[in-house]
């Protein structure tokens, strides 16, 4: 015999099935794409890019980083090895070059020796900046020399002209040098102009300013 309590139980169960079923089903259908567990598998690892190797302490070694900043990746990206291997994750060259740096370091080579080994193997263009020797010196020196030369010439010309001008002024109106600031700005009373000059300046400004 079905008691009232059984009826309620069955009704509740049916309700759960009717109402909760779709929810449970949709929960199953909406299974998260994320990995499961502590380090679960990705559903679509290819979309996450090339598989990576675990980073080690040596990857963060300042000596290695500094060296790799001086060496260009050979993939054609124009970046240095460190930047490329930590930026362009599709590049297969920079991780390999990084390993070469580590291997040379393991051989006990100094920084300069590692750089020299790279130049010997990959050519001079593996350096992010050319060595300051031979023709390359021109690369470093020419801009500075050009600016200094132009500065010296400019100074000489200006000096000559200002002396000529001052000589002419001295003949025409002795003691006529003034501090004329930008005409758009009022000069403080007690500054460089006389009260008459300032009054005239103020009159002109009122008259001329839009």
State how far the Cα of 101 lies from the Cα of 113, in Å rounded to an integer: 11
Q: Would you count residue 46 as binding another protein (CB under 8 A)?
A: yes
Q: Would you count residue 44 as binding another protein (CB under 8 A)?
A: yes
Tell me, what DSSP letter sits at residue 20? I
Q: Which residues make beta-bridge pairs with 71? A: 127
Contact 97, 105 (CB under 8 A): no
Tell me how far, at minimum, the Cβ of 76 lies from another protein, in Å: 7
- Pick one of 1, 18, 19, 180: the residue that binds another protein (CB under 8 A): 180
Q: Would you count residue 124 as binding another protein (CB under 8 A)?
A: yes
Contact 98, 68 (CB under 8 A): yes
State how far the Cα of 90 lies from the Cα of 80, in Å rounded to an integer: 15
Question: In the window 64-103, what residues touch another protein (CB under 8 A)?
Answer: 69-70, 72, 76-80, 83, 86-87, 89-90
| Nearest CB to another protein, comparing residues 24 and 167 | 167
| Nearest CB to another protein, comparing residues 103 and 138 | 138
State how far the Cα of 202 lies from the Cα of 186, in Å rounded to an integer: 7
Question: In the window 19-38, what residues touch another protein (CB under 8 A)?
Answer: 32-35, 38
């Amino acid at each position: 015999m079905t008691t009232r309590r059984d009826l309620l139980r069955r009704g509740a169960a049916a309700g759960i099935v009717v109402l909760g079923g779709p929810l449970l089903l949709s929960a199953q259908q909406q299974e998260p794409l994320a990995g499961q567990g502590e380090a679960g598998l990705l559903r679509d690892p290819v979309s996450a890019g090339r598989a990576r190797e675990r980073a080690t302490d040596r990857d963060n070694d300042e000596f290695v980083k500094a060296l790799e900043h001086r060496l260009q990746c050979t993939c054609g990206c124009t970046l240095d090895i460190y930047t490329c291997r930590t930026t362009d994750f599709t590049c297969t060259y920079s991780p390999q070059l990084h390993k070469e740096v580590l291997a040379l370091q393991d051989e006990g080579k100094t920084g300069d020796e590692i750089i020299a080994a790279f130049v010997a193997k990959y050519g001079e263009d593996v350096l992010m900046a050319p060595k300051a020797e031979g023709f390359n010196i021109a690369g470093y020196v020419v801009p500075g020399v050009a600016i200094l030369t132009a500065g010296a010439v400019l100074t000489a010309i200006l000096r000559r002209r200002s002396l000529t001008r001052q000589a002419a002024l001295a003949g025409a109106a002795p003691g006529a040098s003034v501090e004329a600031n930008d005409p758009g700005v009022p000069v403080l009373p007690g500054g460089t102009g006389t009260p008459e000059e300032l009054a005239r300046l103020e009159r002109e400004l009122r008259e001329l300013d839009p």
